[in-house]
Structure 1
Amino acid sequence: MKHAETVTFGGSGLDRAAHLRADDAQIGANPAARAVVLWRGKPLITSEGGPLARLPLDHPVMADAGDVRVFLGQDDDGPVFAVNLSRWTPELPDGDELNTFLDASQQQHPATGDAIFAELRAIMTTLSPRDGELASTARAVLGWHDSHKFCSSCGTLSNAVDAGWRRLCPTCDTSHFPRTDPVVIMLIVADDEVLVGRSPGWPEGMYSLLAGFVEPGETMEAAVRREVFEEAGIRIGEVSYLASQPWAFPSSLMLGCYGTATSKDITLDPVELEDARWVSRSEMEQVARGEHPTILPARKGAIAHFLLENWLANTLD
């Protein structure tokens, strides 16, 4: 696809300046340096619908930041870091709202005025390409630090080095790097129909393209064929690549693929899918307009929406 990187969280041309990571103290000494701030994976935005907040490194809110500071790269205005307010415990909403698929709650830190912490999936379509890349990178790398604090070789608490892009074990000297898990998500077509499915527990009416993790020793194309057959019993012939999307929930790279079905009879794996169906182009146009009686449009910002939108517009090439 000629416009593949226009997908949400697609490349914004950020200079990650990896050659500077060995000396983050010098980078941070730059008076123009700023930080994007996260709490529980939620980025701080200036206001509802506003851009990412970028705060000086000596801002009072940094007193609640954890020990890891990640250098994201050089923006037009100077170095950009990311920090996690792991020492801050705000008053939380009643119930389990924070653990829902799409947390709609917002939090405010007393040191940041009207700025709010908002769930990234809820605001991703309002962010500029640059803010989207910064926020998704910050969420992925800071989340990796939270879940990989101990050396997998000897169990010792490791240290963040290289401006947050590596953890080093002080006991056995093993290096650990942020992980990215490849996931194939498939636009599977037969004639003028597209295959969609829904997982158990999804909101009523929510359907999407089929997806699954690439296994070790497996090509992207083989993963597409295996996942579709395992989940829906459909055989796939030719497979091609369309676009990718960093998906920091928590650490995936979505590989958007196009596959041509050689069979159409659906046999569900009930563990993976509650339902799967073939949807015609005219019916999918109705879905996209929000007029379908039983199927909701794919969530804006997700690569499934991007691929379906381009399929309907005949702009996959």
Structure 2
Amino acid sequence: MALTRAEGVAMNSVLPHVALSMHAHDRHGLERTDEEWLDAKWKDPSTRVLVLSGTRIRPVDRQIVWVTPQEAPADGLRILLGTREEATHFAVVVEPDKAPGDKQEWHVLRALLPALENDVLTAPLVMHAIGMAEWHWATRFCPRCGGPLDARQAGHVLECLDCGKQQFPRSDPAVIMIVTFGEPGSADEMCLLGRSPAWPEGRFSTLAGFVEPGETMEDAVRREVAEETGVEVGEVTYFGSQPWPLPASLMVGFSARATSTDIQVDESEIAEARWFTREQIRDEATSGAVVLPGGISISRSLIEAWYGGSLPGHW
């Protein structure tokens, strides 16, 4: 069934949320050096702790579990995350060889994304915890002198014990974009989606890539689309952002208007790219011929914002 122009305009006016950006927690940046405050919060019976083995989490019945401070390992690195719904949350990161239980019980974040889709209230806290754990795991020595590092400010600063240089958590900016062509809201308007060579047939997503030094995000959108698919882009409009600590990215979403439609994939990062009308993406998602990203990803939000509502199926 074809969409009318009026239906397309109405659908395109709907803006689905970006799941991981909806429920920000109070990070208590000013309290990170207040040992008395930190100690009181750690002793508070309402406080909850996420335990990590290196950068891995141990779920229970496929759900992410928060424990009390008394149940958390005593010899791990304690990281303040912040307050959500009047409860303070910490992460405790232990070395993998000291983690309780079997090593196979601990899973990487990507394997637990379905659990986060069902718990978007605490998902930003989990992303914060994983991002910090990834940073501590990768930053073992001072990049200036090679000296040992000591955690400060509730885990959010690493200070060299030799030269005193401080290191701070990093986030690498990456752009992710829904590329469209045609009259906005019309039945003939199309969006461009691509498939990675590592993905099975039928799995499609929005295009994405890292911002290079000295480059604006808008120019990164234009460059990445041209490099991966050969499509030229003109107007670029900000959509929203989302943390993605796999391992340390900040995904910045954009809507981009194409000025050409000819596709020439690079066959390196993109194996296949296609233009979809709203009717095509709805019908193929319904039949399972096309499988779209999960609901917690900003890619899904970009696609559904353009489409104008929810779509069936996900990875």
| Cα deviation, residue 308, structure 1 | 0.8
Runs of 4+ with deviation above 6 angstroms? 1-5
| Cα deviation, residue 126, structure 1 | 1.1
Q: Distance in 2 between matches of 1:219 and 1:244?
A: 15
CA 1:163 to 1:249, structure 2 compared with 1: closer, same or farther past 3 Å? same
Q: Distance in 1 between matches of 2:153 and 2:59?
A: 27
Equivalent in 113, 119, 122 of residue 114 of structure 2? 122
| Cα deviation, residue 180, structure 1 | 0.5
Give the match for residue 88 of structure 1.
99
1:275 aligns to 2:275 (yes or no): no
| Cα deviation, residue 46, structure 1 | 5.6
Structure 1: gaps (5+ residues): 94-105, 109-116
**Residue 56 of structure 1 aligns to which amino acid in structure 2?**
T
CA 1:118 to 1:14, structure 2 compared with 1: closer, same or farther past 3 Å? same
Describe the superposition over 1:260-291 as per-residue Cα deviations: whole angstroms up to 9, x where unpaired.
100111111122111111112111112332x1
1:57 aligns to 2:78 (yes or no): no
| Cα deviation, residue 119, structure 1 | 3.3
1:264 aligns to 2:261 (yes or no): yes
Aligned residues: 287
Give the match for residue 159 of structure 1.
150
Q: Distance in 2 between matches of 1:229 and 1:25?
A: 54
Give the match for residue 53 of structure 2.
39
Which is further off, 276-285 or 37-46? 37-46
1:248 aligns to 2:248 (yes or no): no
Identity among equivalent positions (%) equals 34
Give the match for residue 113 of structure 1.
none
Q: Distance in 1 between matches of 2:54 and 2:250?
A: 21
Would the aligned equivalents of 2:16 and 2:304 in 1 still touch at CA under 8 Å? no
Q: Distance in 2 between matches of 1:243 and 1:251?
A: 17
Would the aligned equivalents of 1:298 and 1:304 in 2 still touch at CA under 8 Å? yes
Would the aligned equivalents of 1:20 and 1:27 in 2 still touch at CA under 8 Å? yes
Structure 2: gaps (5+ residues): 1-11, 183-188, 311-315
CA 1:40 to 1:284, structure 2 compared with 1: closer, same or farther past 3 Å? farther
Equivalent in 296, 303, 306 of residue 308 of structure 1? 303
| Cα deviation, residue 40, structure 1 | 4.6
Q: Distance in 1 between matches of 2:280 and 2:291?
A: 12
Equivalent in 76, 86, 102 of residue 85 of structure 2? 76
Would the aligned equivalents of 2:18 and 2:242 in 1 still touch at CA under 8 Å? yes
1:139 aligns to 2:130 (yes or no): yes
**Residue 83 of structure 2 aligns to which amino acid in structure 1?**
Q
> TM-score with structure 2 length normalisation?
0.83
